[in-house]
Amino acid sequence: MNTKALSFIKNFSYSLISNVVALLISSLVILIIPKLIGIQSYGYWQLYLFYSSYIGFLHFGWSDGIYLRFGGYRYSDLNKKIFFSQFWMLFISQFILFLAIFFYSRYFVADSNKSFIILMTGICMLVSNTRIILVHILQSTNRIKEYAVTTMLDRISYFILIVGIVLLNQRNYEYMIVADILGKLFSLLYVSYLCKDIVFRSIKEFHWDIREMFINISVGIRLMFANIASILIIGIVRFSIEKQWDVATFGKISLTLSVSNLMMVFINAMGIIMFPILRRANKENLPTIYNTMRNMLMVMLLGILILYYPFKSILSVWLPQYADSLKYMALVFPMSLYEGKMSLLINTYLKTLRKEKLILKVNVLSVVLSLVTTIGTVFILKSLTLSVLSIVFLLAFRCIISELFLARYLNISVIKDISIENLLVVVFIYSGWVLQGKLGFIIYLVAFLLYLLCKKKEIHETINEIKNFAKK
């Protein structure tokens, strides 16, 4: 086995372990928290998670620019003095924004629960956006082992604190939010130690390098807006559900989305390491690598949909108070398929090809479509079912459009595969929502086995490609 293959397997193993740990902890938290704190409090907990998902907007693409510009570099080749100034300039900017959020939550928000959530979101922003620049440096320079440990420290610390809260019988969503922030803070301290030659230098070496800041922001802002637009595609629907119905309904639907999106944590194990590898790869090999990865990934993602049936059965018994909302899992479970393909394959390739503008355009178009469908399903028809179903429709639209553009750049054909995969998703939704139970499971399982039969040749070729890669 060659050095490149060994390096890939080694990095993948580190990333896989950290993401499996995160997956297990996320699964346990999703199962434990709604059992302990009640539907209303769980709604506020989900509201905090919802708000904090947008904090990346507030570094204005600064960190994304560093990630894109230095992807594929070696850590030893970085100019540490420049990164030292950029790190502390970013921290100062985030601290100023935190002060603004603090005063807003203190003096302009009447609801005490929402005031607390906004304040905690501000603290989360300060910690997370300071940390992300160092995490991006580790990712872009292929220091995957250190990145993996940082990720695990965050989630393991968080889980230990949650267990402590439960044992002390302090079943309050406020404590759980604080636990989440402390987990992030511990990982910030650790990653600061890993990058101590960047973070801790003489104050004499610091200078306000505005030019470097604007270069990073100008490179990263399109990707940042694309990422925010990506979050807004679902966020607009979720926000509207909270406004049209109530916090309790918002929490119930959020639980369903959280369970449906659990496998994204696992998929990120490969996505994290692929960007620096593809940046170093020969451009002529990108189409072949794409087809190999695509065949492998889609078999896995379509197979994962089978897990819906045991998941729903277990959760219905464990969380009977959420039984009325768990039925929506049949509609949103395929979101992991479209999100997984976008995260691991399409966006990684588009970033490698420096097509951030295309990512932004497709995401903005999807946001506009999200606004239109949300107005129709939430405010005109007032249908929670159609509102939830629109989430998968929007993610499918974005995924299909993005892949068709990417296929044009790579000069490959994917229309047939996209059609078959979407047909299988329709079969899954029909089986889970209409047929349900054992019959629904059998129908989808048969459809999936037929898919494997149709893709037998491509799967065999993919296995051979992986073997050849390992031997070279």
Across the range 404-418, mean pLDDT stands at 92
**Taking 80 as the threshold, does the pLDDT of residue 465 lie above it?**
no
99 vs 220 pLDDT, higher one: 99
| CA gap 317, 447 in Å, rounded | 28
pLDDT per position as a tens digit, 415-447: 999 999 999 999 999 999 998 888 999 999 999
The CA angle 237-257-274, to the nearest 5 degrees, is 100
| CB count in 10 Å sphere of residue 234 | 23
Token pair of 94, please? 């985030």
DSSP string, 142-168: T-HHHHHHHHHHHHHHHHHHHHHHHHT
Say if residues 247 and 128 touch (Cβ distance below 8 Å).
Answer: no
pLDDT band at 313 (very low <50, low <70, confident <90, very high): confident
pLDDT of residue 227: 78
Confidence at residue 61, expressed as pLDDT on a 0 to 100 scale: 86
Alpha carbon distance 228, 358 (integer Å): 14
Instruction: Give the mean model confidence (pLDDT) for residues 296-305.
Output: 88
376-397 pLDDT per residue, tens: 998 999 998 999 899 999 999 9
Whether 136 contacts 272, CB under 8 Å:
no
Could you tell me if 401 and 278 are in contact, meaning their C-beta atoms sit under 8 angstroms apart? Answer: no
Q: Angle between the 3-52 and 263-280 helix axes, to the nearest 10 degrees? A: 130
Q: Looking at residue 151, what is its pLDDT?
A: 85
Q: What is the model's pLDDT at position 75?
A: 86
CA distances from 105 to 110, 121, 455 (A): 9, 10, 55
The alpha carbon torsion through 192, 140, 49, 347 (nearest 10 deg) reads 180
Specify the DSSP class assigned to residue 70: S
How far is the C-alpha of 292 from the C-alpha of 387, rounded, in Å?
A: 35
The answer to whether 32 and 162 have CB atoms below 8 angstroms apart is yes
Among 16-25, 106-115, 259-268, 392-401, which stretch is predicted with the lowest mean pLDDT? 259-268
Average pLDDT over residues 126-137: 94
What integer pLDDT is reported at residue 393 of this predicted model? 94
299 CB-near residues (< 8 Å, 6+ apart): 452, 455, 459
In the block, tokens 């990333």 appear at 15
Q: Is the pLDDT of residue 182 over 80?
A: yes
Q: What percent of the chain has pLDDT over 90?
A: 36
* Cβ count near 357 (within 10 Å): 12
Encode pLDDT of 220-262 as tens digits: 888 788 778 878 888 888 888 888 887 778 877 887 787 777 6
Q: What is the pLDDT of residue 390?
A: 94
User: How far is the C-alpha of 329 from the C-alpha of 77, rounded, in Å?
Assistant: 47
Query: Does residue 11 register a pLDDT over 80?
Result: no
Q: Identify the residue with better confidence: 444 or 290.
A: 444
- Residue 293 is predicted with a pLDDT of 83
Q: Evaluate whether 195 touches 139 at the Cβ level (below 8 Å).
A: no
Q: Which helix (H) or strand (E) holds 180?
A: helix 173-194
Nearest to 337 by CA among 421, 273, 274: 421
Which pair of tokens denotes residue 353? 């090809």
Query: CA 268 to CA 19: how far, in whole Å?
Result: 7
Q: What is the mean pLDDT of residues 112-135?
A: 94
| Strongest mean pLDDT among 34-43, 147-156, 180-189, 246-255 | 180-189
Task: State how far the Cα of 2 lies from the Cα of 56, in Å rounded to an integer.
Answer: 38
For residue 270, the model assigns a pLDDT of 61
pLDDT at 189: 96
Alpha carbon distance 168, 408 (integer Å) = 57
Query: Whose structure tokens read 């905690």?
Result: 120
Which of 178-192, 273-287, 298-312, 375-389 comes out lowest in average pLDDT? 273-287
Model pLDDT, residue 7: 63
Residue bearing the bigger pLDDT, 68 or 422? 422
Q: Could you give the CA distance from residue 195 to residue 150 in angstroms, rounded to a whole number?
A: 12
Q: What is the pLDDT of residue 286?
A: 83
Q: Cα torsion for 31, 36, 39, 44, to the nearest 10°?
A: -90
Give the pLDDT band (50/70/90) at residue 120. very high
Q: Taking 90 as the threshold, does the pLDDT of residue 105 lie above it?
A: yes
Backbone angles phi, psi at 60, to 5 degrees: 60, 30
Q: How do the residues of the chain divide into helix, strand and coil, expressed in percent and rounded to 5?
A: 90, 0, 10
pLDDT for res 2: 57
Stretch 354-367: mean pLDDT: 88
Task: Please count the residues of the chain.
Answer: 472
What are the CA-CA distances from residue 35 to residues 64, 315, 346, 429, 466 (Å)? Answer: 37, 11, 37, 27, 44
Q: Among candidates 218, 241, 205, which has minimal Cα distance to 332?
A: 241
